[in-house]
Chain A
Amino acid sequence: MEIGLNHYLVLSTILFAIGLVGVMRRKNLLMLFFATEILLNSVNISFAAISHFYGDLTGQMFAFFVIAIAASEVAVGLGLLVVWHKKHNNIDLDTMTSMRG
């Protein structure tokens, strides 16, 4: 059976949905970061797939930059997590409510 663009897009959507489930579900900050990674990766897949099926390199370029940005985001995010943990000794989201409106 011919694998077309639609298959890849559906796959990407499923992965994105899984990522959303994780984002909404996880109460631990680190687990939240994992879910964010999943989101980014699913998007990468769709970029690459579109790039392949349209013969355009723009998708791959974009995926490339997404990887770079994800990496730096992880670095900064983990740094912040470390600082928070040093202060509160706890990384449960339910305790981080100082932005209460």
Chain B
Amino acid sequence: MFEAVAFYLFAFLTISMFWITVTTSQALYALTALAAGMIFISAFFFILGADFLGAVQIVVYSGAVMALYSFGMMFFDTTRDVKEKQGNKALILGLSTLSALLVVAIFAGPIVSDNIHALYPVIDGVGNTQQVGLVLFTKYLIPFEVAAVMLLVAMVAGIVLAGKKMDSSLTLMNEEDIHLMNNQDKKVLS
């Protein structure tokens, strides 16, 4: 009973938040609605018993990713509406509805005929986090390490792309050159 109430409540909230994200003309509203949607999705994870995943969702998505997007918001004058030349609304809605129906049809197929079976079964009596840890560090170790390398690469890429004064290296210059560089941009008021 509670589960049904919670599911429908959060479902409604998530859908409305995401709808606001895609339809509003105000950039700030979109950002805020996205963040809210992320949180509600983590609620779903908790309902489904994926505690670790829910926590990660909050921390990574609502925390880090939204922070990044907020940084991206610097490029907007937030008091102004985002003006967008709209494409064909009917086409867009039609295409997305059609794809939704098709996906449902595809998923309804095998599930009705009960073709799916478990690959890595859950061990009872242990908490979710422990189970995740067990599986992650035994069977999914290599993807884990690869993901780590990938994050590193992404981080470096982000710094290089967005950073300033990337052509000179502070550790390789003398004191006088650093001093010169710092004073170069200052304007003397006399």
Contact = CB atoms under 8 A, between A and B. Distances in A.
A35 B50 contact: no
B69 A57 contact: no
Given A18-B22, A49-B48, A79-B162, A74 B68 contact: yes
A34 B162 contact: no
A99 B144 CA distance: 36
A25 B50 contact: no
A21 B96 contact: yes
Contacts of B99: 16-17, 20
Interface residues of A, number: 69
A85 B75 contact: yes
Contacts of B34: 34, 37-38
Per DSSP, chain A at the interface is: helix
B127 interface: no
Interface string A61-93: 101110111111111101111110100000100
Contacts of B125: none
B53 A64 contact: yes
Contacts of B3: 3
A61 B136 contact: yes
A61 B27 CA distance: 33
B147 A6 contact: no
A67 to B, nearest CB: 5
Interface of A: 1-3, 5-11, 13-22, 24-28, 30-31, 33-35, 37-38, 41, 44-45, 48-52, 54-58, 60-61, 63-65, 67-76, 78-83, 85, 91, 94
- Kindly list the 6 A-B residue pairs having the minimum CB-CB distance in the complex, ordered from nearest: A79-B161, A72-B154, A22-B22, A17-B100, A56-B118, A75-B158
